[in-house]
Amino acid sequence: LAVKDPTAVERANLLNMAKLSIKGLIESALSFGRTLDSDYPPLQQFFVVMEHCLKHGLKVRKSFLSYNKTIWGPLELVEKLYPEAEEIAASVRDLPGLKTPLGRARAWLRLALMQKKMADYLRCLIIQRDLLSEFYEYHALMMEEEGAVIVGLLVGLNVIDANLCVKGEDLDSQVGVIDFSVYLKSDDDIGGKERNVQIAAILDQKNYVEELNRQLNSTVSSLHARVDSLEKSNTKLIEELAIAKNNIIKLQEENHQLRSENTLILMKTQHHLEVSKVDVEAELQTYKHSRQGLDEMYSEARRQLREEAQLRQDMENELVVQVSMKHEIELAMKLLEKDIHEKQDTLIGLRQQLDEVKAINVEMYQKLQVSEDAMKEKNEIISRLEDKTNEINATMKQLEQRLQQAEKAQMEAEAEDEKLKQEYVNKSESLQNEFSQKEKQLLQLETDLKIEKEWRQTLEDDLQKEKETVSHLRTETQEIVTLKKEFLKLQEKNKQLKSTCEDQEAALQELASKLSESKLKIEDIKEANKALQGQVWLKDKEATHCKLCEKEFSLSKRKHHCRNCGEIFCNACSDNELPLPSSPKPVRVCDSCHAILIQRCSSNVP
């Protein structure tokens, strides 16, 4: 007995199981109803069989914790091979409950079945065997012919409509075990199934008839309701028609009355118009006389108004100019200091720019000299090339003349050949040899001509390149000329800036002299204040008597303290008062330093 390959046996068993599960699923779906739920047992068994088929011959991949062997890797490849599968892959990755790759693969199979594209997706995988070889062994079911057979069987599942809820289902922890009892059949089961099929067909017919009756009853009731509504609307329309006819009769009577009234009104208005025309003509004559005087008065008043308006505008303009001049003077004083600092910064920047411009000028002058030397060399090369082209043209003309002579000689030889063929048959061989030699010479001349033509084309290309370089150098020279002009403009601007800078420095010197004078005055004032600040206030306990009258302080004689000198006087002695704009009452002043006195509590009063 020949020993069978165990992998081949496994493939055959899995193929048979796939056939049985797909066949049973289609038959049960057609008898039960074409839309299936996730709890349907044949559908669950189909997914288990498909898992086993996809797991067959999978390569073991090492991970950090353990060896990994899942079908999610090859199924992820479908996204790259078949663009329509991107939606399924994205939705599987976004599902919240899935944690393992096996759970993702199960969700992917369910979504593919609902889309009716499982066969198309797996067919794309089987075609790309070089990519599948990364995940499967060479003897795997997906790498052999059995895989193609299973893909063909999956096309039959497009008849079924599956309505599966993948979101709430626990796909990670499901145990994939094939239930073989479903596929084992007995004689009693076969007879019972036939009866069940007949009963199911009868029940389906009954349900269909009942649904038809319900639909017909609903249509009849809707038609009755429509008839009632139409009758009601018809009666309403008849009533409205009668009312409308009555309204039309009344309106016609009113129309006749209004027309008669209209004729009477017309007669009256014509009479009034004739009377009013006479009155209007009289009024017009009086109005014309009065208007002449009013026009004269109006023109004089208008002229006076214009003169006054002009005077007012002039005054307002002068006022605005004076106010603006005042504001500008104030702003100019503030901005002068800022401008001085900014202009010093600009001066430093301009000096740096001047140095850079000088360096650029030196570089541009050097480039000009180099370009002029290059131009001279290229002009010499162009003259040499022109001489060469003239020589080539001359040689070309000579070769053309030789060709013409050879052609003429060939023609003459052919004519002589025709004449002497009859007479000199024996000499034909020698002439043929000569003719072949001449043909060889012709071929050589043609090849020489081709070579010379190619050489001429190359020389023309070189000439064009040289012309392009010359044009490029001309543009560069033009740019250098423009740069020179810009440099001259920059020099002029620099001179202007220097002159403005000198004016500003002179103004700064004047301001500095004025500032130094003001600083000296401020320092004098500060020294005077320091001399006065040396004196210290006396304490309340120590100051018991007035400094001028030497009387004791009491409730009637209150203390008054000087801010500068620190001396204390009574209210009787400090009679010197000065009026201030800020206070309503006059202020008491010290006799010695004339500073403002401050009232203090006496020693007896708290």
Could you tell me the mean pLDDT of each successive run of 10 residues in the chain, 606 residues long? 73 90 85 73 88 86 57 87 87 85 89 88 89 88 89 87 80 76 60 67 73 84 89 90 90 88 87 83 80 80 86 87 85 82 83 84 84 83 82 82 82 76 68 80 86 85 85 84 87 86 84 82 76 59 74 69 65 58 55 56 37
**Could you tell me if residue 306 is left (phi over 0), alpha (psi between -120 and 50 degrees) or otherwise beta?**
alpha
Residue with tokens 């203390």: 559
Contacts of 413-418 with C-beta under 8 Å, sequence gap 24+, read: 413/438
User: What pLDDT, on a 0 to 100 scale, did the predictor assign at position 602?
Assistant: 39
What 3-state class would DSSP assign to 506? helix
Q: Which two tokens stand for residue 546?
A: 């007035």
Tell me if 318 is assigned to some domain: no
What letter represents residue 313's amino acid?
Answer: Q
CATH number at residue 573: 3.30.40.10
Tell me if 50 is assigned to some domain: yes
Model pTM?
0.35
Widest CA span in the chain = 182
Per residue in 579-591, pLDDT tens? 544 445 555 666 6
Tell me if 442 is assigned to some domain: no
Report the alpha-carbon distance of residue 258 to residue 260 in Å, rounded: 6
Q: Which of 601, 602, 512, 599 is nearest to 553 (CA)?
A: 602
How many helices (H) and strands (E) the chain has is answered by 10, 9
Q: How many CA atoms lie within 13 A of 506 on its CB side?
A: 6
**Could you tell me if residue 413 is left (phi over 0), alpha (psi between -120 and 50 degrees) or otherwise beta?**
alpha
Domain span holding position 596: 546-605
Tell me if 130 is assigned to some domain: yes
User: What pLDDT, on a 0 to 100 scale, did the predictor assign at position 66?
Assistant: 43
Angle between helices 145-154 and 6-32 (to 10 degrees): 0
CB 237 within 8 A of CB 245: no
Q: Which two tokens stand for residue 342?
A: 């900014």
Report the alpha-carbon distance of residue 457 to residue 489 in Å, rounded: 48
Tell me if 555 is assigned to some domain: yes
What 3-state class would DSSP assign to 519? helix
CB 589 within 8 A of CB 597: yes
- Boundary (domain end) residue, out of 183, 214, 245: 183
User: What pLDDT, on a 0 to 100 scale, did the predictor assign at position 566?
Assistant: 62
What letter represents residue 579's amino acid?
Answer: P
User: What pLDDT, on a 0 to 100 scale, did the predictor assign at position 491?
Assistant: 85
E-strand ranges in 441-552 read none
What percent of the chain clears pLDDT 90, i.e. is strictly above it? Answer: 2
Report the alpha-carbon distance of residue 505 to residue 343 in Å, rounded: 10
Q: Which of 364, 363, 318 is nearest to 480 (CA)?
A: 364
Tell me if 126 is assigned to some domain: yes
CATH number at residue 177: 1.20.58.900
Tell me if 424 is assigned to some domain: no
- Boundary (domain end) residue, out of 132, 157, 183: 183
Tell me if 86 is assigned to some domain: yes
What letters, b where the CB count within 10 A reaches 16 and e where it falls short, cover 17-51?
bbebbbebbbebbeeeeeebeeebebbebbbbbbb
Number of domains observed in the structure of the chain: 2
- Boundary (domain end) residue, out of 167, 183, 199: 183
Reported residue count of the chain is 606
User: What pLDDT, on a 0 to 100 scale, did the predictor assign at position 425?
Assistant: 65
User: What pLDDT, on a 0 to 100 scale, did the predictor assign at position 606?
Assistant: 28
User: What pLDDT, on a 0 to 100 scale, did the predictor assign at position 149?
Assistant: 92
Report the alpha-carbon distance of residue 392 to residue 460 in Å, rounded: 12
